[in-house]
Structure 1
Amino acid sequence: MSGLYFEEFEVGQVFKHRMRRTITEADNTFFSALTHNPAALHLDEEYCRTETEFGQRIVNSAFTLGLMVGITVGDTTLGTTVANLGWDEVRFPKPLFHGDTVRVETEVLSKRESRSRPGQGIVEFHHRAYNQKDELVAHCRRSGLMLGKPK
């Protein structure tokens, strides 16, 4: 188990996650197909080359969100989370393209003991994803219900 217990998180703590991921065409195509998203922006190279400002397919933003959060799990919540409580303020300031490499940082924004679940607490994270050019490509706030240290 590599996740942290509620008591081990500190407000202001920053994680620079070592895991990175280069996004492939297969990632984007499979994810879009599995989620029944037929948007030409993700699947039709010719359309994107001739009809969009991007000139190429862009990565499905739902995949970007899932990848961003997934990269953080090993360092923060693996084995110590009870539940993901939600995502807020999800933003994608720049698109990702096939071949881009994503790295992620997480900051602990707040934490409080649960009022209804003794021995557990809520931690609010701010996840930020960057491409290989260090451009911010996604960010969100996420709340997780975390286990307290066993007694």
Structure 2
Amino acid sequence: MAGRYFDEWQVGDTVAHAITRTVTEADNLLISTLTHNPQPMHLDAEAAKASEFGQILVNSCFTFSLVVGVSVTDTTLGTLIANLGFDEVRFPKPVFIGDTLHFESEAMAVRESSSRPTAGIVTWAHRAINQRGETVCTMQRSALLHKKPT
């Protein structure tokens, strides 16, 4: 089991996730079509070229999902009861096809569950950073985790 139990988290704990990912055209096309998102900025190279960005923008749903997915191994794998919510999702810089992203998570809050004595809630700040050192996605995620078995 790679994730941590509730009791193993403290505010300020930070994880630099080992997995990095270069975003491909296939990633962007797949998420856009799977979610029925016809935005020309994601699918039409000519429309995207005429925009202020000059190229296709990667669908932000992919970026969001990638941040969460990469964080799972080091945070909640095997210890999760439920994701409780995502807050303050931001995309301060665009992601382009060919960008390579790395990811960080920091525990921002840790508290006992008031209704489940064998569980607690951890809130992380997750970040994705591109190869230029630009933060491209930030969010907070709260999850209900099992406490370490006794």
Q: Please indicate the TM-score interval, normalised by the length of the shorter structure.
A: over 0.9
> Structure 2: which 5+ runs fail to align?
none
Residue 118 (structure 1) aligns with: 117
Structure 1 position 129, deviation (Å): 0.6
Over the matched positions of the two proteins, sequence identity in percent amounts to: 55
Amino acid at match of 2:26: A
| 1:12 Cα deviation after fit | 0.4
Query: Which residue does the alignment assign to 1:55?
Result: 54
1:16-56 CA-to-partner distances (Å, cap 9, x unmatched) read 11100000000000000000100001000011112x10111
Give the number of aligned pairs: 150
Summarize the alignment of residues 60-75 of structure 1 with structure 2, pairs less than 5 Å apart: 60-75=59-74
Give the letter for the 2:45 counterpart: E
Instruction: Give the TM-score of the pair, scaled to structure 1.
Output: 0.98
Residue 38 of structure 1 corresponds to which residue in structure 2?
Answer: 38
Q: Which amino acid in 2 is paired with 1:133?
A: R
**1 CA distance for matches of 2:63 and 2:109?**
24
Distance 2:67 2:110 in 1: 21
User: Taking structure 2 as the reference length, what is the TM-score of the superposition?
Assistant: 0.98
Offset of residue 71 of structure 1:
0.8
Q: Could you tell me how far 1:118 is from its partner in structure 2?
A: 1.5
Which ranges in structure 1 are unaligned for 5 or more consecutive residues? none
Deviations 1:3-23 (A, max 9, x none): 000000011011011100000
Q: CA deviation at 1:77?
A: 0.7
